[in-house]
Chains A and B, each alone.
Chain A
Amino acid sequence: MSIAQITHALNSDRNGSPVSSDSAGSPRADSLGGDWALRFDGVVRRYGRHLALDHLDFQVRRGETLALLGPNGAGKSTTISLLLGLLRPHEGTVEVLGTTARGAVGQGRVGAMLQTGSGSGLPPGVKVSEALALVQRLYRSPASFETTVERSGISSLLGCRTNQLSGGEAQRVRFALAIAGDPELVFLDEPTVAMDVDGRRTFWRMMRQFSQEGRTIVFATHHLEEADQIADRVVVINHGRVVADGPGATLKAAVAARHLRFVVTDPDPDRYDRLEGVTDVEIYGTGVTLISLDADATARDLVRANIAFRDLEVTGACMEDAFVALTESKRNPSDETTQ
């Protein structure tokens, strides 16, 4: 499955209409006014000679939960650092909550859980309750201590020293610190990385509850499942560019897409387009490949339409294959889809 096919599937729903106005190559977001929690516009960021972000564009609506999906080194953490004003872009603009990244952070409207490598991300030598109380006092209008403890489920950890926590516990405490200021927008950089399965489930349940209060969540992950299950929308990035952009369900559908290959003596592209489930058609000589979101229906329709096909072969891209296809291409999908 090529990158163009997947992006095609991602950028259109089953009826072929655009999924969202903010997908690559679609009408610009400007027309929708101040509804954006954040906007990334042509952002370039280099580390020495290495191009970490290569004209990255994407927008996130207020109240939306967005997953930034991509392999390690794709540019997810750099993106989050720019959104927090920890880094400045070399080109392009970053707008957060209608102001600059640093402005939004300075106003206390943003919270984040960053990657900490081997460290806990917590101050050594204090109790969890003390660290949380301090972070709260740094914000002008924080959530109450009790509310934050409840939202993050850390009541049993309050009396512990920060250096006595397990990896998963430390993550929960860092989540509490991220939301202590009652932020409108929360960034989570691979938040569940040190958690076990149970921990992940609990974490995302709390996260979902938190986002239901109208908050915007942007999280980075390299787990397709996590992106699919949690996010309203998934932006796939690789090599510092947006590779695909669409709702999780469409991503999943794209991943579930099948290839139907067959041979006909005289291919007629117009006929295949109308078959049920087909999102894309490729013809090379007498060989036809249909990309279908419902292979069974397409096959039935092929027979019903009296198409004299031979050598029918149905293959599927498994999730990992699709992910690899999505993220390992260096080509720019928006160039292809607009052709």
Chain B
Amino acid sequence: MSALFAFARFELVRLLRSWKFLAITVGFPVVFYMLFLGERSSGQIVDGTVPWRVYLMVSMCTFGSLVAALNAGGSRLATERSTGWARQLRITPMPAWSYVATKVTASMLVVLPVLALVELVGLTFGGVRLGVVQWFALTGLLWVTALPFALLGVFVGFMVNAETAYPVVTALMFVLGYFGGLFNPVSQMPQALQSAAKALPSFHHALLALEFLSGQTLGAGNWLILSGYTIVLGMALLWKHRVEESRGLA
């Protein structure tokens, strides 16, 4: 167990030391947040339930989770697999599954400070006022439901090579961000796009948090779709890992 802990810490240190990673994961959500902040009156009601300022903070939390998780896996993982480091680990006594598990864990762990940072912007500039318990509950909810993003990032890192990973991650970031209704409420999108949005995990990730903040019961459908993504991506990752094992690439 101490070996796994050492590996997880090693991964985390590597992530937090990478300027490129930090610039993207911190920069994107915070800069977008600031840009969108002045766009509308913060009290304007969005989707008939929540004020713009709350919608915006939650959306940027979702976007931040997405960016952090996709970049923690994604091209970093693809790159280190191409250098042969992953194979070197594979011939240590560390069990095969723990490489994948540690990658997912590390991705989840970097989501947490990004959430805290976006919430801090919400508190200081965004005019969001919540009770202490609500802040913690909101953070916990956003964090747990970010699992499909972490799985997706690691899956992409396994599927693509070092050269194609970067554009794929960028595309996913903006497709899930824009079409998931994080930059603009889904209700203001054309009808065709609205139904597409409702199939994306990013939409449901944000919606759960909005339901929580507006005091509604959390929608079973949102949970169902997020769980579906988690199971499908988890299984896809297992499958990919198995295939690589049998080919001697993992």
Interface residues of chain A, those whose CB is within 8 Å of chain B, are 81, 84, 86-88, 105-108, 110-112, 114-117, 119-126, 130, 134-135, 137-140, 174, 177, 181
Q: Is residue B23 contacting chain A, with contact meaning CB distance below 8 A? A: no
Complex Cα distance A212/B230, Å?
Answer: 52
A138 and B84 form a contact (CB under 8 A): no
| Bound-complex Cα distance A181 to B92 (A) | 8
Q: Which residues of A contact B79 (CB under 8 A)?
A: 124
Please state if A112 and B91 are interface contacts (CB–CB under 8 Å): yes
5 smallest beta-carbon distances between A and B, as pairs: A119-B83, A116-B84, A121-B84, A87-B248, A86-B248
Secondary structure dominating the interface of A: loop
The interface residues of chain B lying within 8 Å CB-to-CB of A124 are 14, 79-80, 83, 85
- The listed residue (A123, A125, A137, A174) touching B6 by CB distance below 8 A is A137
B residues 69-123 in Cβ contact with A at 8 Å: 79-80, 82-85, 87-95
C-alpha spacing A174/B247, complex, angstroms: 23
Q: Report the minimal beta-carbon distance from A50 to chain B, rounded to whole angstroms.
A: 13
Complex contacts, B93 vs chain A, CB 8 Å: 105-108, 138-140, 181
CB distance from A156 to the nearest CB of B (A): 22
Known: A119-B82, A124-B83, A130-B10. A137 touches B88 (CB 8 A): no
Chain B interface SS verdict (over half): helix
Q: What are 14 of the A-B contact pairs (CB < 8 Å)?
A: A86-B90, A86-B91, A86-B250, A87-B246, A105-B91, A119-B83, A119-B85, A123-B14, A124-B85, A126-B14, A135-B88, A135-B89, A138-B6, A177-B88
Residues of A within 8 A of B82 (CB): 119
Shortest beta-carbon distance from A57 to chain B in Å: 21
Contacts of B124 in A (CB 8 A): none
C-alpha spacing A26/B204, complex, angstroms = 69
The answer, yes or no, to whether B7 is at the interface (CB within 8 Å) is yes
B94 touches A121 (CB 8 A): no
Interface residues of B in 13-32 (CB under 8 A from A): 13-14, 17-18
Given A105-B91, A106-B93, A181-B92, residue A137 in contact with residue B84 (CB < 8 A)? no
Query: Which residue of the partner chain, among A86, A125, A139, A174, contacts B18 with CB atoms under 8 Å?
Result: A125
Are A114's CB and B3's CB within 8 A?
Answer: no
Considering the complex, give the chain A residue whose CB is closest to the CB of B92: A138
| Nearest CB on A from B14, distance (A) | 5
A115 CA to B88 CA, complexed, in Å: 10
Contact of B85 among A115, A121, A130 (CB under 8 A): A121
User: Which residue of B13, B87, B92 contacts A135 across the interface (Cβ within 8 Å)?
Assistant: B92
Closest to A105 in B: B91
Q: Does B191 contact A (CB under 8 A)?
A: no
A120 contacts which chain B residues (CB < 8 A)?
Answer: 83-85
> Using a CB-CB cutoff of 8 Å, which residues 46-86 of chain B contact chain A?
79-80, 82-85
What chain A residues lie within 8 Å of B2 (beta carbons)? 137
Residues B248 and A126 in contact, CB atoms below 8 Å apart: no
Give Cα distance in the complex from A93 to B94, angstroms. Answer: 24
The distance in angstroms between the C-alpha atoms of A174 and B85, with both chains bound, is 10
Q: Closest residue of chain B to A117, judged by CB?
A: B84
A103 to chain B, nearest CB (A): 10
Q: Chain A residues near B7 (CB, 8 Å)?
A: 134, 137-138
Q: List chain A residues, Cβ under 8 A from B17.
A: 125-126
Are A125 and B84 in contact (CB-based, < 8 A)?
no
Q: For the complex, give the distance between the alpha carbons of A116 and B3 in Å.
A: 24
Residues of A contacting B89 in the complex (Cβ-Cβ under 8 angstroms)? 135, 138
Chain A residues in 8 Å Cβ range of B90: 86
CA distance A106 to B91 in the complex (A): 8
Pairwise interchain contact A114-B14, C-beta atoms closer than 8 A: no
- Of listed A88, A117, A134, residue having the most chain B CB within 10 A: A134
CB distance from A123 to the nearest CB of B (A): 5
Q: Which residues of the other chain, A, contact B3 by a CB distance below 8 angstroms? A: 137-138
Give, as a whole number of angstroms, the nearest-CB distance from A166 to chain B: 15
Beta-carbon contact of B85 and A123 below 8 Å:
yes
Given A124-B80, A125-B17, A181-B93, CB of A134 within 8 Å of CB of B10: yes
A48 CA to B157 CA, complexed, in Å = 25
Chain B 225-250 interface mask (CB, 8 Å, partner A; 1/0) = 00000000000000000000011101
Instruction: Please determine whether A88 and B246 come into contact, CB atoms closer than 8 angstroms.
Output: yes
Query: Given the complex, which residues of B lie within 8 Å of A107, measured CB to CB?
Result: 93
Residue of A nearest to B249 (CB): A86
| B107 shortest CB reach to chain A, Å | 16
Q: Known: A134-B6, A138-B7. Is A86-B92 also a contact (CB below 8 A)?
A: no
Q: Which residues of B contact A115 (CB under 8 A)?
A: 84
Out of B14, B92, B246, B248, name the residue touching A125 (CB < 8 Å).
Answer: B14
Q: Which residues on the A side are within 8 Å of B85 (C-beta)? A: 119-124
Q: Are A114 and B13 in contact (CB under 8 A)?
A: no
Quick check: A108 and B88 within 8 Å, CB to CB?
no
Q: Which residues of B contact A86 (CB under 8 A)?
A: 87, 90-91, 248, 250
